[in-house]
């Protein structure tokens, strides 16, 4: 194992870092491609970061591509103390970034959670979204009404427990409640990479891109720089019927790229029922894992270029 003695390198591939001032804090992205090309904003998945789009940079070289570190991820600012990562706020983050870039409208590319956010931004502000390309997502994960009360209790208890630990006051957790991941130090980048691969099966070289961007120096080792609040359970998950109604308000052409086998939270029957709500949409199923845009960039890139028109 190699012990870190210097900050991990900022891996930006063919791109360059860009700082964006928004009303709720500094956000950071990786900008690549053609400055005069079609405007394309890319949103990563939960606990990933902008580096997850590095494998697609050359595939999308004809676009003005900005891959964002969402709030609490990568090098972007965390939410202010005392606040949660509420889903509707992600929509405003997207619109704030478009404003900061000076883009009246743009195309959105989203993976997993980023695809859910892109979906909702397109539904909420259709004039700002020209085309919508989604990888392993279409709208947020739905919830069951019968589980809403228990979810609320667990979410409130988990947040208060996290705040108590931060102030060295211990509060009891509900039975079966998992403590959120801490920002504890690890010996090396290799240790962090092993932890990520244990949680998310994917190609090690792809995982390393994400992991290195999400590390900070901690003593003689490294620690995650993502916000621990991202590990807290959400207070609310919306009913499927409501999500489908939201999706009916998307006006732009939409492409969904789905992995086969499908993850349990994006089953084909859920995906197809949601696609049926859209005015202009199609799905492409690609054999592979959840991070297929990183592991098979040539295949995914060709589908994106064909759809986005670059």
Q: Can you name the residues that pair with 256 across neighbouring β-strands?
A: 134, 283
φ, ψ dihedrals at 203, nearest 5°? -60, 130
CB 293 within 8 A of CB 285: no
pLDDT the model gives residue 134? 98
- What percent of the chain has pLDDT above 70? 91
Q: What gap in Å lies between CA 230 and CA 223, rounded to an integer?
A: 15
HSE toward the beta carbon, residue 288, CA cutoff 13 A: 21
CB 252 within 8 A of CB 105: no
pLDDT the model gives residue 115? 98
Which helix (H) or strand (E) segment holds residue 223: the answer is strand 221-224
User: Strand 221-224 vs strand 39-43: parallel, antiparallel, or unpaired?
Assistant: unpaired
Model pLDDT for residues 216-262, shown as the tens digit of each residue: 888 888 999 999 999 999 999 999 999 999 999 999 999 999 999 99
Q: Choose the catalytic residue: 32, 52, 112, 226.
A: 112
Q: What gap in Å lies between CA 65 and CA 35, rounded to an integer?
A: 8
Q: What gap in Å lies between CA 161 and CA 180, rounded to an integer?
A: 9
pLDDT the model gives residue 13? 76
CB 105 within 8 A of CB 41: no
pTM for the structure as a whole: 0.90
Mean pLDDT across the stretch 63-92? 95
On the 0-12 / 13-18 / 19+ scale of CB atoms within 10 A, 123 is buried
Length of the chain measured in residues = 310
142 labelled catalytic: no
pLDDT the model gives residue 172? 47
Taking phi first (over 0 means left), then psi (-120 to 50 degrees means alpha), and beta for anything else, what does residue 169 get? beta
Name the percent of the chain in helix, strand, coil, to the closest 5: 40, 20, 40
Mean pLDDT across the stretch 108-124? 98
Which band of pLDDT confidence, cut at 50, 70 and 90, is reported for residue 179? very low
- Alpha helices by DSSP H, listed for the chain, are 87-101, 113-124, 148-166, 189-199, 204-213, 240-247, 268-275, 292-295, 297-308
Q: What gap in Å lies between CA 119 and CA 251, rounded to an integer?
A: 11
Q: Can you name the residues that pair with 106 across neighbouring β-strands?
A: 129
Mean pLDDT across the stretch 26-31? 97
């Amino acid at each position: 194992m190699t012990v870190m003695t210097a900050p991990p390198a900022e891996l930006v591939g063919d791109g360059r870092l860009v700082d964006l001032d928004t009303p709720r804090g500094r956000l950071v992205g990786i900008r690549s491609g053609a400055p005069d090309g079609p405007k394309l904003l890319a949103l990563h998945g939960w606990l990933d970061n902008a580096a997850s789009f590095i494998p697609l940079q050359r595939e999308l070289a004809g676009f003005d591509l900005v891959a964002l570190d969402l709030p609490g991820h990568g090098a972007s600012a965390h939410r202010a103390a005392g606040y949660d990562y509420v889903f509707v706020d992600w929509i405003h983050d997207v619109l704030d970034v478009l404003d900061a870039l000076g883009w009246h409208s743009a195309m959105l590319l989203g993976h997993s959670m980023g695809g859910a956010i892109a979906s909702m931004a397109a539904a909420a502000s259709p004039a700002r979204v020209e085309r919508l390309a989604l990888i392993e997502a279409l709208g947020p994960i739905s919830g069951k009404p019968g589980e809403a009360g228990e979810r609320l209790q667990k979410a409130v208890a988990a947040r208060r427990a996290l705040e108590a630990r931060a102030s060295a006051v211990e509060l009891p957790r509900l039975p079966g409640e998992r403590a959120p991941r801490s920002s504890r130090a690890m010996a090396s980048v290799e240790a962090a990479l092993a932890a990520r691969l244990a949680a998310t099966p994917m190609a090690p070289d792809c995982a390393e891109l994400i992991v290195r961007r999400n590390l900070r120096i901690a003593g003689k080792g490294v620690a995650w720089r993502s916000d621990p609040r991202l590990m807290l359970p959400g207070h609310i998950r919306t009913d499927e019927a409501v999500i489908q109604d939201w999706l009916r308000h998307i006006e732009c052409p939409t492409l969904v790229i789905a992995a086969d086998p499908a993850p349990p939270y994006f089953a084909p029957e859920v995906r197809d029922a949601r696609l049926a709500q859209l005015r202009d949409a199609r799905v492409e199923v690609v054999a592979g894992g959840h991070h297929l845009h990183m592991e098979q960039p040539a295949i995914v890139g060709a589908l994106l270029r064909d759809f986005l028109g670059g």
